[in-house]
Amino acid sequence: MNSIKISHTAAYIAVKFYGLTKDPKLKPLFSEDILNFYEQMVRFLPRHLSWYHDSLDAPFWRKFFIFSEELLLPGDLMHIISRKYYMNRMLQKALNEGYEQLVVLGAGFDHQAAITSKQGIPSFELDMEVMIDQKNRFYDQNGYTNENLHLQSVNLTRQSLSESLLSFPEFDKKRRTIFLAEGFFDYLSLTPGERVLTDIKALNPNNRLISTFFSLDELNIFHRFVFTSGVSLVGESLKFKLIKEEFVDFLEEIGFSVSEEITKADIKREFLKPNKIKLPVLNGFYLFSFD
């Protein structure tokens, strides 16, 4: 794949997750399907990123990679691995509760729709055109295309979520649907964010939203600068500038209620400590399930 205008934040999340799951403590926490997906994805990325595929196989380069990342922004790597872990867990919980359909908002290079669709669950990915084009190529080349996997390019800052989904003949708004928003709302301003959330509720009041959230006020000044500058350096920007309490209030005003909240303390207790992982988790990182 030639160097094109992809989301580099999405690409680096895939690269970091791939590298971290080479660690023998972390690898067993994820299924072979997920591990294989990211190995194939990192190999597929543009040349200036795909070189990580082979270099991260070497313990020396993995240690150097972890050291350099943790030096500037301690906790960033564990935020990435833990968000994949908890998003998987929350998704499987919803499927076990009888939810029948999956929509991934701003799907990036994520695995969720590809893996879930192979379980017979209708799964829909929405993202910008360039990302959907690359994802389609990746799926075709690596055997993920199937009758339950559907992709569409959409700019949700200007286009309607409900209209985009209802344009799929396979999408059934009567089905209870899981909406995954991993890092999605960080890049939307409040007005389009409110439209998306209102559409999720309007399509079916029994839908569930599973979302990550960053409360940047919980980072110290230097770490906040590093975090926001890193996003800016790849041509992207954080726009959903609410603190955690404001985010929850914002969703409750639209009609959502919190059914599960994962905090830094939960991640340390449930994820890091049992697996004897000594790296920190980034302050201000949360995962929510909203009904």
Please give the pLDDT value at position 124.
98
Burial (CB count within 10 angstroms: exposed 0-12, middle 13-18, buried 19+), residue 41: buried
Please give the pLDDT value at position 4.
59
77 vs 232, which has greater pLDDT? 77
Phi–psi pair at 111, nearest 5 degrees:
-95, -15
CB 85 within 8 A of CB 271: yes
List of domains in the chain: 8-290 (3.40.50.150)
Give percent above pLDDT 70 in the chain. Answer: 96
3-state secondary structure of 122: coil
H or E stretch covering 288: strand 285-290
Nearest Cα to Cα of residue 132 among 111, 112, 115, 109:
109
Please state which of the ranges 52-56, 88-92, 150-154, 244-248 shows the lowest mean pLDDT. 52-56
Please give the pLDDT value at position 100.
98
Estimate the share of the chain in helix, then strand, then coil, as percent rounded to the nearest 5.
Answer: 50, 15, 35
pLDDT over threshold 90, residue 131: yes
pLDDT over threshold 60, residue 2: no
Tell me the average pLDDT across 101-120. Answer: 97
Name 247's Cβ contacts closer than 8 Å, sequence gap at least 6: 213, 215, 240
Beta bridge partners of 112: none
The confidence band for 234, taking pLDDT boundaries of 50, 70 and 90, is low
The confidence band for 164, taking pLDDT boundaries of 50, 70 and 90, is very high
Q: How many of the other CB atoms lie within 10 Å of CB of 191?
A: 8
Residue 164 CA to residue 149 CA, distance in Å, equals: 15
Tell me the average pLDDT across 132-144. Answer: 97
Name 243's Cβ contacts closer than 8 Å, sequence gap at least 6: 215, 216, 217
Please give the pLDDT value at position 113.
98
DSSP calls for 30-75? S-HHHHHHHHHHHHHS-HHHHTHHHHTTSHHHHHHHHHHHHHHSTT
The confidence band for 1, taking pLDDT boundaries of 50, 70 and 90, is very low
Reported as a single tens digit per residue, the pLDDT across 11-26 is 999 999 999 999 999 9
Mean pLDDT score across all residues of the chain: 92
The confidence band for 249, taking pLDDT boundaries of 50, 70 and 90, is very high
The two three-digit tokens of residue 281, written as one number: 């988790």
Beta bridge partners of 126: 105, 152
Residue 94 CA to residue 177 CA, distance in Å, equals: 9
